[in-house]
Amino acid sequence: MKTTSTKSIVLNLALSLGLLTAGTGAYAQSLPVLPSPNHETDHTALINGVVTVNGSAQQIAGVVARLSRVIPGSPETLVPVSYAMSDANGAFTLTGQPGVTYRISYEFPTAGFTAPQGNPSENFIPADGANTAPNGGIELFRNLNTITNCNVTARQATDWTTTIQVAKAVQINPSAILNSVTVFGSTLAAHPMIEVTATTASNVRALRIGAAIDLDGPSYFQALEAVKNFAGASPSQNIVLNADQTLTYYDISSAGTSNEPLSSVPVEYTGTGTVPFLAKAYGSKTITTTGGNTSSMEQTFASAGVCLTYTYNSDPLPVTLTSFSATKSGENVNGTKLEWKTSAESQSDRFEIQRSNDGKAWEQIGTVLAKGESSIITHYEFADENPFAGENLYRLKMVDADGTFSLSSVRNVRFEMTSQVVLHPNPVSDMLTVKSTASDQVAEVIIYNLTGIPLFSKRVNNGDNKIDMSRLSPGLYMVKTVSDNGSYNTQKVIVTK
């Protein structure tokens, strides 16, 4: 038996009418929606983030991130501006305008995760170009006794049909009994540009543009819709166009989600392998006018995601990591203290502590024995007394008695061993000389603007330590020098003409 739901449609309608609240603010999208102030130009502020899971290396696909403009007031009003969906690596990119105050909220599979903080995010103002989302995105916490697996489609122009293969849960604790499966579906529609043109004077009473996506899996069917509403039936909500007038919108997006528990656990969801979901995407558009003729031109891109949350009567994983931190420690604050907690362990053997300075090559620096069997909070700690100069990345390899293992998320600590570097002349108009007065030598010089965007870099040595600054416009720049031992130094330099 297949079930359907209108939750995603209700969500989009509520957002368009301003019926939902978020924290201390309320979502409101006043109609009609005109290009100004949110869509009259290309969005040049890119906000990048990642959806991670606390205590795990897992990164969650199919999560919807919503960027909203914050309008001051009591309470604040949140106007949705753009949407993004996390990819197979948990990464997403939202688009907005530089210099505007925004907030990010997230929709994720709540059967499998909670978000104790960061949903919604704190207010922030992005700059032009690349930006990092508050907290780097969102960190989810796995609900006890669950396993969640996700997959997504690539974003592509509608109409399209594809199959989303979602991995079945593999329980490591053999005594756990599967109780239920919940399906989380998500969809995203994006339009780089929309043009609405009136051939004669027109009142647009309804304008809805987006995408409809059908997700069809074993004992499951969901008709999701991601649409943007621009006009309403009330005269005050009409878009009024003169003859031959064209409205141009940039960077329009919308999204929809649903959480559906299956009434039973179909056999297709058990065992090993994947569960197939047939996904079909269609462009969706509705235009209703009073007295006049209009047309629109747009290109619709869509993507879809599916997450499966398996819920058991006991924890299906041998180790439940509830926290993991890395902080500076020691008498001279020159070491790293690692601390972590588990809430449950089954057949666990040991924790191998791994360290890296680049996130690629990892070395084991220690081992801590695990409790083996536990159903209470257990505290662990480890001290790294000889960390690298510069970046130190740490993770836990949680090894079970049978040799299987999982990796925690990564924590980092930086120890700044600044090299003694002289830059002269400063101010500079053409050639900048870079000289180290310490035993370590400068290996690379990187020039940044004040927004943190790298402009160019150069490898240097004792015989070639001059940097041509004449190509830069007059102003203030940041010069980062990296020494051959990994330490670095950042100084300000003024460029004149």
Supply the pLDDT for residue 46.
94
Range of the domain at 482: 421-495
Q: Give the model confidence (pLDDT) of 46-66 as tens digits.
A: 999 999 987 777 889 999 999
Cα(18)–Cα(205) distance, integer angstroms: 18
Beta carbons within 10 angstroms of residue 318's beta carbon: 26
**Does 255 share its domain with 132?**
yes
**Does 338 share its domain with 442?**
no
353 phi, psi to nearest 5 deg? -90, 125
Q: Give the model confidence (pLDDT) of 121-167 as tens digits.
A: 999 999 999 999 999 999 998 898 899 999 999 999 999 999 999 99
Say if residues 92 and 51 touch (Cβ distance below 8 Å).
yes
**Does 487 share its domain with 462?**
yes
What is the sign of the dihedral through the CA atoms of 432, 438, 443 and 447? negative
**Could you tell me if residue 98 is inside a domain?**
yes
How far lies 48's CA from each of 82, 83, 143, 211, 371, in Å? 13, 12, 26, 24, 39
Instruction: Indicate if the pLDDT at residue 448 is higher than 80.
Output: yes
Q: Give the model confidence (pLDDT) of 279-310 as tens digits.
A: 999 999 999 998 888 988 999 999 999 999 99
Q: Please count the structural domains in the chain.
A: 3
**Could you tell me if residue 293 is inside a domain?**
yes
267 phi, psi to nearest 5 deg? -65, -25
Q: Which of 409, 493, 403, 397 has the alpha carbon at shortest distance from 448?
A: 493
**Mean pLDDT, residues 420-445:** 82
238 phi, psi to nearest 5 deg? -75, 150
Q: What percent of the chain has pLDDT over 70?
A: 90
**Could you tell me if residue 1 is inside a domain?**
no
Q: Which of 289, 411, 404 has the alpha carbon at shortest distance from 347?
A: 404
Which of 264, 283, 312 marks a domain boundary?
A: 312
**Mean pLDDT, residues 202-215:** 94
324-347: b (≥16 Cβ within 10 Å) or e: bebeebeeeeebbbbebbbbbbbb
Supply the pLDDT for residue 105.
97
Say if residues 468 and 431 touch (Cβ distance below 8 Å).
yes
Say if residues 174 and 346 touch (Cβ distance below 8 Å).
no
**Does 136 share its domain with 192?**
yes
**Could you tell me if residue 102 is inside a domain?**
yes
Q: Which of 67, 84, 83, 86 has the alpha carbon at shortest distance from 22?
A: 67
**Does 114 share its domain with 237?**
yes
Query: Which structure tokens are listed for 84?
Result: 């993004």
**Does 256 share its domain with 366?**
no
CATH code, domain with 485: 2.60.40
**Does 348 share its domain with 465?**
no
